[in-house]
Amino acid sequence: ADHAVELTKTARDIADVMLTDPDADHVMSLRATLKAELAEVRSSFPSAAVTVDGSIPDVTVHGNNMLDSVFRNLLKNAIQHNDQDSPEVTVSADCTDDNTATIHVADNGPGVPDAQKDAIFGKGETGLDSDGTGMGLYLVDTLVDSVGGRVTVSDNDPTGAVFSVTLRTGP
């Protein structure tokens, strides 16, 4: 039942993306968007340790009304696909001189094998032991790409994965 609910929500988000006006790119507060999603995931997963390393920059980023879905999916994935007794998720963000902000969502889970790092953003892709829909990271990649950003995955040290979302800042 949980799988069906999650699939339905993800399908709705994907439909919303496909129906979104391509010119709907506008600036929005990175801090406010992330704070709202952090509060939601902390409420939904009280047994997980969700922290912010440093502070979230008070900048505007290019996005649309679906940007919250990007962070919601990454945060939930970091907890739901975590094989530790106590999932730990750390969010950090930084701005660069090239008018971008990069948000990192790091976890202490099993990580992503090198052979799957590029493929996990494809529609219907799931990990070996995943009970997910295979649509969440596809949605993340599609949403980020639609506003001129990019999403990548790398290894966390000593264990886990770090998903990094880079978005354009400013007006």
pLDDT in tens, 16-32: 655 555 556 688 999 99
Ordered domains of the chain (ranges, CATH): 2-168 (3.30.565.10)
d(CA 145, CA 129): 27
d(CA 157, CA 40): 26
pLDDT in tens, 121-156: 886 444 434 444 456 788 899 889 888 899 999 999
Would you place residue 55 in the very low, low, confident or very high pLDDT band (cuts 50, 70, 90)?
very high
pLDDT score for 29: 94
Closest to 96 measured CA to CA, from 166, 7, 6: 166
What does the DSSP assignment read for 29-97? EHHHHHHHHHHHHHHH-TTSEEEESS-----EEEE-TTHHHHHHHHHHHHHHT--SSS-EEEEEEEE-T
Least confident of 51-60, 118-127, 133-142, 161-170: 118-127
Global confidence as pTM: 0.82
How much of the chain exceeds pLDDT 70, in percent?
78
Q: In the predicted model, what is the mean pLDDT of residues 65-84?
A: 91
pLDDT score for 9: 63
> Residue 89 class from Cβ within 10 Å (0-12 exposed, 13-18 middle, 19+ buried)?
buried
